[in-house]
Structure 1
Amino acid sequence: MAFSESGERLKKAIIKAIDDHVITPEEYEEIINISYEDGQLDSQEKALLAQLQAMIENKEVRFGQRKD
């Protein structure tokens, strides 16, 4: 299934954020802003956000600041 333009941007932002298993508040805000920028959530965006939420709940990804 092909992603919409905003769905593709959302996917890239999520992948970038979870690459090191840490999601910063800034990355989370960017993800939310991308998902709502067109005023609606399509099914692809909902699925991506659900996967991210599951990863956070399962502690595969945690909130925090990067240790550079």
Structure 2
Amino acid sequence: MKKPSDSAERLSEMIKTAMEDGKLTTKEHNKIMAIADEDGILDNQEKQLLAQLQEMLANGTIKRVAE
């Protein structure tokens, strides 16, 4: 089994935090996107994590909130 990339692990932690409190601020969203893009490569793990985040935003599990 392939070890998750450093950025995938950090994305996972940020998404878990958003899931726990049910909120995602613009600042957190921007940081998530910056982590995903920092190495210029969006690997499969990162793609899956971003897709999960998008699904949770779409179904209301996580709400976008102001700072």
TM-score by length of 1: 0.88
Runs of 4 or more above 6 Å deviation:
none
* Whole-Å separation in 2 of the counterparts to 1:28 and 1:51: 13
Matched, 1:41 2:50: no
Which protein has the bigger helix share? 2
* CA distance, structure 2, for counterparts of residue 45 and residue 12 of structure 1: 12
Report what 2:29 is aligned to: 28
The equivalent residue for 1:55 is 56
Structure 2, unpaired ranges of 5+: none
Let me know the Cα RMSD of the aligned residues. Answer: 1.3
Structure 1 runs not aligned, ≥5 long = none
Paired residues in the alignment total 66
Cα separation, 2, equivalents of 1:17 and 1:54: 13
Percent identity, please. Answer: 44
Contact 1:35–1:41 at 8 Å: present in 2 too? yes
Report the alpha carbon displacement of residue 24 of structure 1 after superposing the two structures with TM.
0.3
Q: 2: CA distance between counterparts of 1:20 and 1:12?
A: 13
Q: Normalising by structure 2, what TM-score?
A: 0.89
- Which residue identity does 1:64 align to in structure 2? V
